Amino acid sequence: MENFDYLNWMAIAVAALAYFALGALWYSKVLFAKRWIADLKIDVNSPDAKKGMGIMFGGSLLLMFVQSLAIAIIANRLELIGAGWMSGLKLGALTGACFCAASVGVNYLYEKKTFSLFLINAGYAVLGNIIAAIIICSWA
C-alpha cells in the first residue's frame, strides 16, 4: 500500500464533484445564502464581493477532492468499498461530524462566529462527507 493504485480515482472525482455541486445548492438563495451572507456581513453590492471567485471555486474543488481521497483511503482500510450506501452514510457522518464539524466548531468558538453560521457551514461539511462517502462506498 505504498502507492494509491488500489483507489478508484473515478469514484473519488465523482464524489468531489458531487460535494462541490452540493455547495452550489447549499449556499444558494434556495437554501442558506441569505442567512450565510447576513452572518458574515458580506456587502453583496461591493465591487470586491466577487473578486477571486475562480480561485475560491477551484481551491474548494481541490480541497473537496482531498477530502474525498481521504474518505476513499479510510473506506478501503475499513473494507467498505462496495459495501453500499448505508456504510457510506455511516462513514460520511463519522468523518463529517468528527473531523469537519468539530474543526469548524473549534475555530468558530475562537472567532466568535454565530451559531447559525456554524450550523450552515458544519451542516454542509457533514452532508458533503456523507454524499462523498456514499458514492465511494457504493462504487464497486
DSSP-derived letter for residue 10 is: H
Is pLDDT above 70 for 1? no
Q: Which of 20-24, 49-53, 116-120 has the lowest mean pLDDT?
A: 49-53
Mind listing the pLDDT tens digit for each residue in 59-106?
Answer: 999 999 999 999 999 999 999 999 999 999 999 999 999 999 999 999
Question: For the chain, how far is it from start to end, CA to CA, in angstroms?
Answer: 19
52 or 61, higher pLDDT: 61
Q: Which of 137, 28, 61 is nearest to 93 (CA)?
A: 137
pTM of the model: 0.93
Is pLDDT above 90 for 38? yes
